[in-house]
Amino acid sequence: MNLSTLAAARAEAGRPVRVALIGAGKFGSMFLSQVPTIAGLEVSAIADLDPDKARAACREVGWDEALIAATRFTESAAMAIDGAEVMVEATGHPLAGIAHALGAIEAGIHVVMVNVEADVLAGPVLARKAQKKGVVYSMAYGDQPALVAEMVDWARAAGFSVAAAGKGTKYLPHYHQVTPDNVWSHYGLTPEQAATAGMNPQMFNSFLDGTKSALEMAAIANACGLDVPSDGLSFPSCGVDDLAHILRPREIGGCLERDGMVEVVSSIERDGRPVFRDLRWGVYVVLKAPNAYAAACFRQYGLPTDATGLYAAMYKPFHLIGMELSISILSAALRGEATGTTREWRGDVAAVAKRDLAAGETLDGEGGYTVYGRLVPATRSAQERLLPIGLAHGVRLLRPIAEGQALAMEDVALAPDIHAVALREEMIAHITAWTPIRS
């Protein structure tokens, strides 16, 4: 609880934490809006495919011309990281994210990985490379995975076991088939309103069709040593008052296979009615009391519990995305600590056909027209060589795939010389190194 003090000391010493931001989209812009008011933090460079657009983003979030002039704008991530202590990877492109992370790690620069797509695709390897190099590889505070990792760490440090952890979202089963053509009606917008606001239909569709939820839960599982559901996320409809009742094992009336799972709760009932006191914008952890005395304390201090009194829920109703990102940056640079990092390979996100796909078609990746991402156990993904959603963009299908079927890596024409493909093969070959053998 002293990050601001440590950062202020760096400011007084004339040695602010220097940050290279890669990707000046919405997440990056939210971070940039906070930079002028954070003593001891300086964005030395911003890399974006459109540097002029990045400059415009800085003006839009309130930067003055002097600050813009003092910042280096470039198309090259390699040029941007020169002289930086911390690189923030916020492109959202998994292949680019992996390449940028590898470059920063090799250069001895801490990495804050906003790009959850890249983290789920190759996080175990990237985290190990960073550890060997003596730099931090961190999740991005403000995004749900880092916030959940913090809550899980708090729970375990306090002596509780974690029955479940995850987030809320808006979900109905047919969302898996939604495409960018019909996404806006589910957000209550017209295509014209979305275009005026500069909203990307494929990106927003990845939130709706379940892909982003799957990615975030895989990241949490891999960071926190939690398990993922065997058949993918079930998205139970659940408000904050019922978290401890629903997110507990099936054998005692809940929806989980066992304790220690990730799951996403829906803010709407299956018939479309809103859930009472929903958690659409928040995150949660369900605790399990280690003894009867702790369970009694749950009741005495007002925690919402299940009928047994052993399970209780804690939650955070909101998250501020990029506006909280500096917590990760300062933690990495000033404490040498990550705000959550991949430690194992427990969860993966497989590409699943949204419709019948023909041989010769080109997949368009996350949030597109062809596939969505489904959460699967890493052991199954490795055994069946499932195609990760992060490799399902711009690749050609070699055989027809039926709607609802998970794709395998051999179903598409992958370029073996791409960093991400090589790292994925390394993960598959050494699955026992990333996921502990369990009895």
pLDDT of residue 438: 42
Give me the mean pLDDT over the 98-118 stretch. Answer: 97
Please, what is the Cα angle at 260 between 255 and 262, to 5 degrees? 65
- Signed CA dihedral, 305, 229, 393, 401: sign only: negative
Q: Give the pLDDT band (50/70/90) at residue 434.
A: low
Residue spans per domain, the chain:
3-143+322-335, 145-171+210-318, 347-434
The overall average pLDDT reported for the chain is: 95
The partner residues of 166 in beta bridges, in order of sequence, read 263, 284
Name the residue among 430, 384, 426, 380 with its Cα closest to residue 409.
384
Q: What is the DSSP string of 145-213?
A: HHHHHHHHHHHHHTT-EEEEEEEEE---GGGGG--TTSSGGGGT--HHHHHHTT--HHHHHHHHSSHHH
Give me the mean pLDDT over the 223-237 stretch. Answer: 97
Q: Is the pLDDT of residue 436 over 70?
A: no
DSSP-assigned letter for residue 419: H
CB 408 within 8 A of CB 88: no
pLDDT of residue 345: 95
Give the orientation angle of helix 211-224 with respect to helix 116-133, to 10 degrees: 20
pLDDT of residue 378: 96
User: What is the Cα 7 distance to its own chain's centre?
Assistant: 26
CATH superfamily of domain region 3-143+322-335: NAD(P)-binding Rossmann-like Domain (3.40.50.720)
Q: Could you say which of 3.40.630.30, 3.40.109.10, 3.90.1210.10, 1.10.10.10 is the CATH number of the domain covering 347-434?
A: 3.90.1210.10
Half-sphere exposure of 58 (CA within 13 A, CB side): 26
Please, what is the Cα angle at 425 between 137 and 392, to 5 degrees? 85
Q: Give the pLDDT band (50/70/90) at residue 143.
A: very high
pLDDT in tens, 361-389: 999 999 999 999 999 999 999 999 999 99
Residue 282: both structure tokens together: 């928040």
Share of the chain above pLDDT 90, in %: 93
Q: Is the pLDDT of residue 217 over 90?
A: yes
- Report the alpha-carbon distance of residue 55 to residue 51 in Å, rounded: 6
Q: Give the pLDDT band (50/70/90) at residue 439.
A: very low
pLDDT of residue 65: 97
Residue 141: both structure tokens together: 């505070």
Give me the mean pLDDT over the 412-419 stretch. Answer: 88
Q: Give the pLDDT band (50/70/90) at residue 435.
A: low
pTM: 0.96
Q: Is the pLDDT of residue 437 over 90?
A: no
Give me the mean pLDDT over the 60-88 stretch. Answer: 97
Spatial neighbors of 222 by CB under 8 A, at least 6 apart, are: 119, 120, 123, 124, 342, 343, 344, 345, 346, 347, 378
CB 219 within 8 A of CB 139: yes
